Every structure is written in C-alpha cells, then in structure tokens.
Structure 1
C-alpha cells in the first residue's frame, strides 16, 4: 500500500501541515523537524499526490500548451523541452492542437479554465485581441513561445526571425548567388512570416541585388503547398540559382519540385531551410538550414511560466535565443 502524508507525519512525529510545509516551503520549518520529515519521506519512499496538493494549495499543478499544428515537427522539439521542464518543476502538461482555428482555440481556453490549469504557454501564433481578452478574462497567466505581441506586454521567448533570415540569405549571396528567391509563409496567418521576409529583403538590398525583392512566393504551412509555390516561382523566374525557405518542410518541398524537373540541388540551385528538424540531416541532399533551439524554447517557456506563477513576474520579459546556420549538402558556391 502506498504511504500517505499521514504516514510521514506519524513517523516524523509532526503534524500533516508541517509535512506539507517541508515539501513546499522548507525554509519555514525549523531544522530539526525538517530533517525528521525528510528522513521519513526517504524511508517511506513517499510521493505526494498531486490531487491532494491541489486541494491544499488551490492549484492543479498543470500547465496548458496551445500549438497550431501538432504534425509540424518543429513543435515536437518544443513540446519535448516543455515536457522535460514540467517534470522537473512538478507540473503535468495538457496539449491542445488548434489548427489555427479561432473558435477551437477559444474553446480550449474555456477547457483550460474548467480544468483549472495554473498557466498556459501560447505557441507560434498571432495573439489576436479575442485570445488575449479570453485568457485575461479567465484569469489564466500565460507566456508566449516562438511568437510575441507588439500590442500587449506579455512575457515571451523566441529567436530573432528577421536576423536569422538575413543571415541565411547573406550566406547564399556570399557563395556568389545573384539570382535569389524565397518561399515564405502566408502573412495572414503567420507571426514569423513577415520578419523572415524582411530579413530576405534586407539582405538582397544590402548587397545591391534589389531586383530579387519580388522573387517571393507564399505558401501555407505544408510540404505540398511549398511544392506548388516553387512551381509558380520558377515558372516566373527560371534563372534562379538559390532559394531561401522559411521552414525545412518548405525546403524539402522545393527540392522535390526541382528533382521532378531534373534540376540538380545543389549543382544548379542551392536551397536553404529554416528550423533544423531532425529530418533535415536525413533528407537527400542533407539540408543547409537555420537551426532554432526548439528544445530550449519549450524548456524556457515552461520555466518562464513557472516564474510568473510563483513570483507574479518574470525578470526577462522579452527573451531572444540564439540561432545558428548549419551548412550541409543542399548549398554550394555559384
């Protein structure tokens, strides 16, 4: 039979409330009692029941995560980082896939409220006013990951999307490419699409290649959409020798399109992706890509939310994590 908090209290010869304080605020318990309780916990191998803790402290010890596309491998890394952080911090994690559907997302916030989650991480989507108002109205603390809000002062952790895109395009230009294109996210439903487009435009302008500014095709968030966008881009601009893609999945779609047209990568066209998914090093050719610290983004989001929940504030409200260009086989000198 599993030991209970009552068993710990009896063995340590203290009250149940003292055991609770040792587990949650040990500095408030005198050393002699604290040591007896810790010895009893170790002897009995006691593990506190989360439901009981919730009744005592009026917390569920559960965090919610709102993500737009659970099939996107980028989010696998974010989820893993957040899950590992939650385990260390004593939380369970409830994940909801929104498919960027506003009604569904709002209903998930209602669910979080009903389940009494302690806080929510809002991932990689635009924080529309109705989302903000719903979360605030439900009194659910939240932080943002891989997104930010210019309108609301909400803690966030992300990379510098514009700078990351700039670095990728600069790399291609320094390889000698002068005819460049880009496959970007549709701006209407993307938070990272506009800054990555700005990075592309800034790089080509800086190097005097302004004629490339219009060489951008937009797609939704899937491989097949990037494949079609590549068809449109190369139909209009057949002389392109380098393509920057705002995701690795897009880069794979572009390379597949080029392969079907017997265009060699990187022999005739260099392709650079974005994210550094696990698949990027397994694909043929292996992808040159901008690496996002996916695991660390999820980990820091959970830690930042925990900080907000326990102290009422975060020391670093707007946190930028580093990106890195990973050079592999899909790019070469012109």
Structure 2
C-alpha cells in the first residue's frame, strides 16, 4: 500500500505579503500597477512570488477592476482556417495589455451567431469581435465595443469594420491567371460579404479583359465539400476550363480533390488559386497559390480598435481596408492549350 502526502496548499497573496514583509494591499498594487511601487519593495514582492510559485487569481483581479480583461471572438466555422492568423494578430496586440481572447464557433445561421455572441457577452467580455455574418441589429444593446473583422453582409450599428480589400484581392487573382494566358477561367463562389466582394473584384477584372465568365456556387456555402461540388458542376458544364479561382483556400482544397477525381492534374491541366493564404495554402504538400488577406494585420488593427474604445467610450467606429498580396506557388501555371 502506497501512502500519498496531502497536496500542498496553493500560496495566497497573504503568503507573498508575509514573505516579502509588506502588506497584502501592496502586493496587489505590484500586480496591478508596479510602476507606483518603489524598486526595493517591488523587487521583494517579485522575489516572494517567484520563490512561492504564486499565481494571481484572475477572478479576484476581475472583481477588483470591474473588467474581465477578455475579448470575445465569434467565428463561423473552425474548419476554415483563415481565422488562425486573425487570432494570432489579435493576441500579439492584446497580450501585452493583459487581455486574453475567448473563442466561440457559431457555424452558419444568424441564430447560431447570436447565441455565440450572447454566450460571450454573458461572460462579461470587455469587447467583441465578429468574424461571421451578423445582422445589422443583432448586437443592439451589447454594451461593449464591437469590431467586425472582414467584409460581412451586415455590420451592426456602431461597430468598427476592419477588413482586407477583397475586391482588390479578387482582381489580383484574375490578373494573375490572365497574365499566365488563361481565358477560360472558372470561379467558385459562395454567400456572404467576403465572397461577394472577392467575386465582384474578380469579375470586374475579367470583364475588362473580355474573358468568359464562369461562376459556380454563388448562393451556396464555402466549405471543402462546397468547393468539390462546385468544381464538379463547373467541369460538367465547362469541360474546357483551364483555371479555377476559389473564394477561399478551403474551397480550393475541394477543387483539387474534384480535379484529381477526374484524372486531371494541377497545374498541368487546370490551374487553381485560393484566397486567405491559410495554413492549407502554405503546406509544402499542397503549395497552393493564394491571395493573402493579411489576416494577421487585420487582427492587430482589430485589437487596436477595441483597446482604443475600451479606454475611451467617446471614440467613434472606424472603417479600414488592408491591402492583400498575391503569393504564387505551385498550383498555377500557363495553360497547356
């Protein structure tokens, strides 16, 4: 029979104060505003914290400050990895100010988005980021600064909008394929604000060139399965297609699967370009040409907008476009003709 010693008690702020020879209130001051404490006392408190392995209670800090130091982020689908860089950019700007991000996946549907937002608001987040499709009125009375990340069909009144220039990005994709010599180009699109702007920029550039317009899935979803189905439809109706532009990298992955299933090769038979420059596109296995929507920079500016409005409620909402960039990899080439 093995005897286990009782688990050691977690150190408290009172233990830190006793070891440092100061009051508990001074320990609290060091934790919240160390610049207001003399070097000698601050160093004594920090040494005691290190020796004891003390970790401040976030709940206690929240009660003391009336803020949770948390930001809520609503995304529409974990399977679409574009939000990874957005989250990374947000955290790079928020962490230094002591904020953490709480993530909620809504999946398609206004009610689900509302539920996800309500769940985060119930946790008393200090700010909210919507990277999904809200209605214009769904966040009425939210009571916290709100930023919409990326083009959406509806932007709640009073919310900031920080987005990549999707119209410009769609135009970049078209120019790249036209520059390679493609004139029979298909586009896999979907519902939602971002897809609509990417489609508009793409089609505008094609019209300028006189190339034929071939669109699939304009009112559907933007998942890998949607990309596969739309590519099948496109190749059934336009078998001479030599290039495909997908509204996002996830749809492009579906396109690659559909092309392979028909015994065709990328880019020898059909070139494929995606959008978002997600971790999928960067994979050495896929080497997917993609338009970088600079989600990392969008995330940084989203965080800055929230922090500015948390500090000063009088700061008004802003609209900001961030320029995309084309990243050419191995899935696009000149057509074989």
- Aligned 8 A contact 2:71 2:126 in 1: yes
TM-score, normalised to structure 1's length? 0.84
Aligned partner (choices 36, 52, 55) of residue 63 of structure 2: 55
- Aligned pairs for 1:37-56 (under 5 A) are 37-45=41-49, 47-56=55-64
- Aligned pairs for 1:206-225 (under 5 A) are 206-209=208-211, 212-213=212-213, 215-218=214-217, 219-225=220-226
Q: Name the CA distance, whole Å, in 2 between partners of 1:155 and 1:147.
A: 11
Relative to structure 1, is the Cα distance of residues 9 and 324 closer, same or farther in structure 2, using a 3 angstrom cutoff? farther
Relative to structure 1, is the Cα distance of residues 175 and 54 closer, same or farther in structure 2, using a 3 angstrom cutoff? same
Offset at 1:253? Answer: 1.5
Name the Cα RMSD after superposition.
Answer: 2.8
Aligned partner (choices 180, 191, 196) of residue 198 of structure 2: 196
1:217-269 per-residue CA deviation (whole Å, 9 max, x = no partner) reads: 01412112211111111222222211111111211211221222222221122
Structure 2 SS opposite 1:131: coil
- Aligned 8 A contact 1:70 1:76 in 2: no
Q: Report the equivalent of 2:13.
A: 4
Q: Report the equivalent of 1:288.
A: 289
Relative to structure 1, is the Cα distance of residues 201 and 9 closer, same or farther in structure 2, using a 3 angstrom cutoff? farther
- Mean Cα displacement is larger for which, 77-86 or 323-332? 77-86
Q: Name the CA distance, whole Å, in 2 between partners of 1:3 and 1:66.
A: 35
- Aligned pairs for 1:12-91 (under 5 A) are 16=25, 20=28, 23-24=31-32, 29=36, 33-45=37-49, 47-91=55-99
1:151-210 per-residue CA deviation (whole Å, 9 max, x = no partner) reads: 63422322100101101111110111111110011x2xx12011111011111122232x
Offset at 1:294? Answer: 2.9
- Aligned pairs for 1:98-113 (under 5 A) are 98-113=106-121
Offset at 1:24? Answer: 4.2
Q: Name the CA distance, whole Å, in 1 between partners of 2:159 and 2:245.
A: 31
Q: Name the CA distance, whole Å, in 1 between partners of 2:69 and 2:198.
A: 37
Aligned residue pair count: 319
- Aligned 8 A contact 1:60 1:116 in 2: yes
Structure 1 SS opposite 2:137: helix
Q: Name the CA distance, whole Å, in 1 between partners of 2:223 and 2:156.
A: 29
- Aligned 8 A contact 2:127 2:144 in 1: yes
Query: Unmatched 5+ residue regions in structure 2?
Result: 1-9
Q: Report the equivalent of 1:250.
A: 251
Relative to structure 1, is the Cα distance of residues 119 and 151 closer, same or farther in structure 2, using a 3 angstrom cutoff? closer
Aligned partner (choices 148, 151, 157) of residue 147 of structure 1: 151
Q: Report the equivalent of 2:3.
A: none
Aligned partner (choices 170, 179, 187) of residue 184 of structure 2: 179
Q: Name the CA distance, whole Å, in 1 between partners of 2:257 and 2:224.
A: 9
Give the number of the structure whose residues are more often helix, by fraction.
1
Q: Name the CA distance, whole Å, in 2 between partners of 1:228 and 1:259.
A: 13
Q: Name the CA distance, whole Å, in 2 between partners of 1:34 and 1:240.
A: 72
Q: Name the CA distance, whole Å, in 2 between partners of 1:5 and 1:37.
A: 15
TM-score, normalised to structure 2's length? 0.83
Offset at 1:4? Answer: 1.2
Q: Report the equivalent of 1:129.
A: 136
- Aligned 8 A contact 1:22 1:34 in 2: no
